[in-house]
Amino acid sequence: MNHSSDWELPVSESSLNRMTRDLDEAHQDAYPQMRARAAEFSEELADTASSIAGKRLARRGFLLGGVGVGAALALAACSSSSNSASSTGSSPAAAGASGSASMSSASKYVGDLKVVALATALENQAVGAYQAALSAATAGKLGTVPAAVATFVTTAMSQHQDHAKAWNAVLSGAGVPTITGVPLSNQPATLQALSGASTVGDVAKLALSLEDQAAQTYLFAAANVSSAGGISTAASIAPVEAMHAAILQFVLGEYPVPDSFLGTSSAASTTLLTV
Amino acid sequence: MDGETIDTRLLAELTEQSQDLDSDARRITKGALGEFAEEQGERRSGRRMGGMAAGLLGAGALLFGSARSASAASASANSTDVMALQTAASIENLAVSVYTTASGLSFIKSGNATVAAFIAKTITQHTAHAQAFNAALTQAGAATQSSPDPKYAAVVKAALPSIKAPGDVVSLAITLEDVAAQTYTKNVSQVSTSALRTLFGSIAPVEAQHRSVLLAVQALLAGNDADLIAIPTKPASLPAAAGSVGFPSSFYSTTSASPISEGAVS
């Protein structure tokens, strides 16, 4: 591999075909499960919202006492506002322009949907970071890019796109706008770090921090969201982000499985959301 | 850097990490286990209240002939948690046993030092997982599990005679790590408390990471690139496939997850 601007993916056509077949097979195995989970999750959120909306007046005094119920009430509010929600997601530019770390009181993403929105934004952030890395590599800004790193980036990016699609399917199923950009208050800092990366190692370190953050966020989500579909979806994605992190550690020359337990100290907070 | 220097450094690091492991495991799982203990306390207290209600319900149910089903339903959630924890501990016990056996094989002891170091480190991690699952069982007042998972113990027993080279060990370990990761990923959705979701959810990704590394090692061994199984490796020399072989699917499947009863204490 060289630094020239005509950089190409350093994989032979036959290797790419084989990898594509393998990935297709893996998708065929996992995708039906995910589609079913996303559909169940959306249905569950909708059922919860309509059920609570119907009982809200009668049970208000009781419901106001519980934390989980607060989220449920928020879901009900979300449902009632979803009909008028725009179907367009936030653009990266808008996310960057907002620069706010606080949720608007009129946010459509409340309760479990707030966590789903955060997850979608994190996936989009990862996709954007890998896309930027590929662009920088193509422009020769990262020096020599090892073949294994190139395939890592393209494969991991594709999987993050799949994750974002799964989460967006939940959002659209629940009647709220999908998220196509990165409405996170830490996005400007991420973009700045990316633009400052001059080596493959720099990009790998940044990617590792994003993968760790995503895996830990999903662990936190699995423990804290209330819907069964949300729990199972988060639980099925966290290991994949952790696997990305393991290979990145290996490429960076570090031990690939440094911790016996996944923590949550680097989990992203929903306060990062700017929508 | 030559191989000897690299692996000495790695082994030193791993030794240090192993010494910190118990405290690390305790720190990370302490919160989840503490919450679980609180939830168990609340549940027991709720059960006493529920018992009164169940008594009334049972009296009514007897009239309608359904007392047994009411009783079974009230006990089912807790038993699910206990069986899931016992099965998880049994999978960890088997993993510890297999890796320990592997570490004593001549072709492992005298083979690639990074593979040997990985096995040593992974033993300590699976030991910590078993301890965490058994600690949760103790918190729940249930029997701990010290035996291996029976289904996969049989698989291991059948495979042992054919293990002649590092690749055979890696292949068997991939199977066990995948079963563990799939089982715990599924368990996250099956257990009844947030604390247990945290516990299973904090271990499943680590087993997935073990599998990821093993898949990469398997590919390197198959490609006669064993010299690249080193920390640090030589990224520029890695074959392209090494960058993606470690994470074959976008979502972690649970189709091969063990049922919660598989390793339950009878």
Please list, in sequence order, all residues whose beta carbon lies within 8 angstroms of the beta carbon of residue A66, skipping any fewer than 6 positions away.
Answer: none
Q: Does the residue B70 lie in any domain?
A: no
Percentage with pLDDT > 90 across chain B: 70
Question: Among residues 154-193 of chain B, which lie with CB inside 8 Å of chain A?
Answer: 181, 185-186, 188-189
How much is the pLDDT for B78?
83
Please, is A67 exposed, middle or buried when counting C-beta atoms within 10 Å of its C-beta (0-12, 13-18, 19+)?
A: exposed
Chain A residues closer than 8 Å to B238 by CB? 146-148, 251
Q: Is the peptide bond before A256 cis (omega within 30 degrees of 0)?
A: no
In a domain, B158, yes or no: yes
Q: How far apart are CA B209 and CA B205, in angstroms?
A: 6
Q: Searching chain A, which residue's CA lies closest to the CA of residue B131?
A: A260
| Interval B21-40 mean pLDDT | 61
CATH classification of the domain holding B197: 1.20.1260.10
Q: Would you say residue B115 lies in a domain? A: yes
User: How far does the CA of residue A194 sit from the closest CA of chain B (Å)?
Assistant: 21
In a domain, B143, yes or no: yes
**A126 vs B250: CA distance, rounded Å:** 14
User: Who among B21, B201, B240 is closest to A11 (CB)?
Assistant: B240
- Total number of domains in chain B: 1
How far is B164 from chain A, CA to nearest CA, in Å? Answer: 26
What band does B65 get if pLDDT is binned at 50, 70 and 90? very low
Task: Report pLDDT for A20.
Answer: 46
Q: Does A70 fall in a domain?
A: yes
Q: What is the pLDDT of residue A107?
A: 81
Which one of A205, A247, A261 makes the best mutation probe of the B interface by having the most chain B beta carbons within 10 Å?
A261
Kindly give, in sequence order, each residue whose CB lies less than 8 Å from that of residue B202, ignoring residues fewer than 6 positions away: A219, A261, A262, A263, B28, B29, B32
Give the bridge partners for A273, in sequence order. A184
| B187 falls within a domain | yes
Nearest CA in chain B to A221: B198
Residue B109 confidence (pLDDT) above 50: yes
**Shortest distance, CA A21 to any CA of chain B (angstroms):** 11
Does residue A17 fall inside a structural domain?
no
Residue A137 has a CB neighbour count (10 Å cut-off) of 22
Q: Is the CB of residue B207 less than 8 Å from the CB of residue A118? A: no
Question: Is it the case that residue B16 has pLDDT exceeding 80?
Answer: no
A155 CA to chain B: closest CA distance, Å?
A: 6
Within-domain flag for A4: no
Cα(B247)–Cα(A249) distance, rounded to whole angstroms?
14
Look at residue B192 and tell me whether its pLDDT is greater than 70.
Answer: yes
CA distance B248 to A169: 22
Does residue A12 lie within any of the structural domains? no
Residue numbers of the domain that contains B205: 3-38+78-243
Query: Does some domain include residue B58?
Result: no
Can you tell me the distance from the alpha carbon of B180 to that of B185, in angstroms, rounded to the nearest whole number?
8
In a domain, A235, yes or no: yes
Q: Where residue B9 falls among pLDDT bands split at 50, 70, 90?
A: low
Q: Would you tell me how many other CB atoms lie within 10 Å of the CB of residue B150? A: 12
Domain assignment present for A25: no
Which carries the bigger pLDDT value, residue B65 or residue A214?
Answer: A214
Give B137 to chain A, closest Cα distance, Å. 18
Amino acid occupying residue A124:
N
B206 has pLDDT over 50: yes
CA distances from A163 to A124, A153, A269 (A): 9, 15, 18
Q: Angle A13-63/A228-251 helices, nearest 10 degrees?
A: 140
What's the rounded Cα separation, in Å, for the pair B247 and B6? Answer: 26
Q: How many domains does chain A have?
A: 1
**Could you tell me if residue B59 is inside a domain?**
no
* B206 interfacial to chain A (CB closer than 8 Å): yes
Closest CA of chain A from B41, distance in Å? 19
B49-53, B64-68, B223-227, B259-263: which has the minimum mean pLDDT? B64-68
Q: Do B247 and A247 make contact, defined as CB atoms within 8 angstroms?
A: yes
Statement: residue B129 has pLDDT above 50: yes
* Inside any domain, residue B262: no
Residues of A in contact with B132 (CB under 8 A): 261
In this structure, the number of other CB atoms found within 10 A of the CB of residue B50 comes to 14
Residue A273 backbone phi and psi in degrees, to 5? -65, 140
Cα A126 to the chain's mean position, in Å? 7
The answer to whether residues B263 and B87 touch, using CB atoms and an 8 Å cutoff, is: yes
From chain B, pick out residues whose CB is under 8 angstroms from the CB of A152.
Answer: 243-244
pLDDT of residue A33: 60
The answer to whether B209 contacts A256, with C-beta atoms less than 8 Å apart, is yes
Non-local (6+) Cβ contacts of A238 within 8 A are: A214, A215, A218, A219, A222, A262, B201, B204, B205, B252
B25 contact A CB<8A = yes
B186: its two tokens? 């599924």
CB contact under 8 A, B125 and A257: yes
What's the CATH code of the domain at A157? 1.20.1260.10
d(CA A72, CA B204): 29
Contact B248 A23 (CB under 8 A): yes
Question: For an interface test with B, which of A243, A244, A262, A266 has the most B Cβ atoms less than 10 Å from its Cβ?
Answer: A243
**Residue B131 to residues A96, A260, B32: CA-CA distances in angstroms?**
46, 12, 13
pLDDT for the residue numbered B121? 97
| H/E run at residue B134 | helix B113-139
> Which of B201, B210, B248 comes nearest A222 by C-beta?
B201
ipTM of the complex: 0.81
**DSSP states along B201-262:** HHHHHHHHHHHHHHHHHHHHHHTT-GGG-SSS--GGGS-GGGGTTT---SS---TTPPPTTT
- Give the model's confidence band at B266: pLDDT under 50 very low, under 70 low, under 90 confident, else very high: confident
pTM recorded for the entire structure:
0.77
Write the single-letter amino acid at A136. A
> How many residues can be counted in chain B?
266
Name the 3-class secondary structure at A256. coil
pLDDT over threshold 80, residue B51: no
**How many A×B Cβ pairs under 8 Å?**
219
pLDDT tens, per residue, chain A with 275 residues:
333 333 344 444 454 445 445 545 555 555 556 666 666 666 666 555 444 333 332 232 222 222 222 222 222 222 223 322 232 333 332 233 233 333 445 689 999 999 999 999 999 999 999 999 999 999 999 999 999 999 999 999 999 999 999 999 999 999 999 999 999 999 999 999 999 999 999 999 999 999 999 999 999 999 999 999 999 999 999 999 999 999 999 999 999 999 999 999 999 999 999 99
3-state secondary structure of A184: strand
Alpha-carbon distances of A128 from A87, A240, B142, rounded to whole Å:
21, 18, 48
Domain of residue A58, residue span: 33-272
